[in-house]
Structure 1
């Protein structure tokens, strides 16, 4: 996404489990590319997504030798359009989301939520599985929900702020934890405190936050977790090209 002043990636995470493939977020999908006016809307004028069909999760999964039907579960951090557009490419997959996010996006959105979400992206009637608060703590985060139906090593961690029901997803890689934070933060400078966060990202994060106080609290909690080397947690998000490049390497 070629946001003026801060180019961003928009990536997802593919997991190979004993129960088939699972995705964390789905990114933009093939239908978004075919009909960006209806499905992406005017925000595309600001974020300037490349919208290349070869970059979609569907096409990349096929290039790995899998079928789209092999994706049985998609865990969504939140319902913003650049995170769920691709769910239509996997109509048989179960879509896992916090109940708070489903309430704010599908069941009873406020006027502000109606402005940010694009119902056309789930008009195909996906199999949405809502997860209520509850569960055990995970590295100091309360109410972490183990997603045993997918794999015992996948944990849904509610972290509202960016949206009403935003969540992070922790994955046990066997060598430590990988924490996919979605849009809980935008830039690695939020974690390390050394790199400058571009002004355009600070402004965007402030303007679209459902609860800015919680966003800032989340920043502090994630930065503290990042500093704790003994936690053995690698933190990524959905949009930082620096963190994305480190993970690819």
Structure 2
């Protein structure tokens, strides 16, 4: 399957050294919304959707505090739908949206693909959409799915994948696209694994925020680590899953490329490794 790496939302919080680990504390940091566009046997699939057109048209719905802290560029050209169109496709060609979770900077593009099936872990849907499990106040932007998309749920059970349990495939037509439970950031947070040739890509979502967190000697810049802890729904589970990701990288890094949603280093490395053309993540 052909895979495109997209940045669907550049964010520029203040304090580059404390967020990116380089530069000055007075510079703007650079963060991305790293999504995948996959050419599958059943049309196009997006892994996460980033910030959407409706978010850009009405930034307050993202939350004034979140916008103030992250300082997103809110550029329509960075949205997934505009990048899909720039590649020569239409929004109707996108048949599947595979969401690592439903936080605002991952689910904003859902309404830009109203006919796509939205794949999430059932526990994520229960909290964010059905509200059968109380969500932290202000955690989710429910307007991002008010149009009533067609949901597809993944729950407990499933197969093993490099030691990860409960793995589920997108379907019989796509056995090489897998949902990997990586709970902790949210209760239904998952990674998405995609076979590319004889190797795998693992989009780990927000299971970690900084490339140094899955190195042999883990590290994370101060402010980024503080934000990660505040966003945790189950910190112990998130830390456990980071340890499993470190083991996966150490033992199978030649077969599995792991990256997260917001680290520009991960994003740039993926694009460089696949010699991908097109716009790179904008500098802040």
Match status 1:240 vs 2:250: no
TM-score, normalized by length of structure 1?
0.95
Mean alpha-carbon deviation: is it higher for 54-63 or for 6-15?
Answer: 6-15
Matched, 1:201 2:224: yes
CA RMSD of superposed structures (Å): 1.6
| Residues 124/42 of structure 1: CA separation in 2 closer, same or farther (3 Å cut) | farther
Q: Kindly provide the CA deviation profile for residues 87-128 of structure 1, in whole angstroms up to 9, marking residues without a partner as x.
A: 110000000000010011111265553321010111111111
Match of 1:182 in 2: 205
Q: Contact 1:39–1:121 (CA<8 Å) still a contact in 2? A: no
Please give the alpha-carbon distance, in whole angstroms, between the structure 2 residues aligned to 1:76 and 1:150.
19
- CA 1:241–1:161: 2 relative to 1, 3 Å: same
Q: Which residue matches 1:26?
A: 49
Q: Contact 1:77–1:169 at 8 Å: present in 2 too?
A: yes
2:127–2:135: 8 Å Cα contact kept in structure 1?
no
Deviation at 1:194, TM superposition (A): 4.8
Q: 1:66 aligns with which of 62, 65, 89?
A: 89
1:111 and 1:229 map into 2 onto residues whose CA distance is 38
The partner residue of 1:128 within 151, 159, 164 is 151
| Alignment of 1:36 onto 2:59 | yes
Q: 1:225·1:231 contact (CA, 8 Å) conserved in 2?
A: no
Separation in 1, partners of 2:217, 2:249: 13
Give the deviation of 1:149 after TM superposition.
Answer: 5.2
Q: Report the counterpart of residue 4 of structure 1 in structure 2.
A: 14
- Taking structure 2 as the reference length, what is the TM-score of the superposition? 0.84
CA distance in 2, matches of 1:36, 1:117: 14
- Number of aligned residue pairs: give it: 249
Paired residues of 1:226 and 1:233 also in contact (CA < 8 A): yes
- In structure 2, stretches of 5+ residues that fail to align are 1-10, 20-29, 273-284
Q: Is the 8 A contact 1:24 1:169 kept in 2?
A: yes
**Structure 1 segment 206-225 matched on structure 2, within 5 A:** 206-225=229-248
The answer (yes or no) to whether the contact 1:32–1:40 under 8 Å persists in 2 is: no
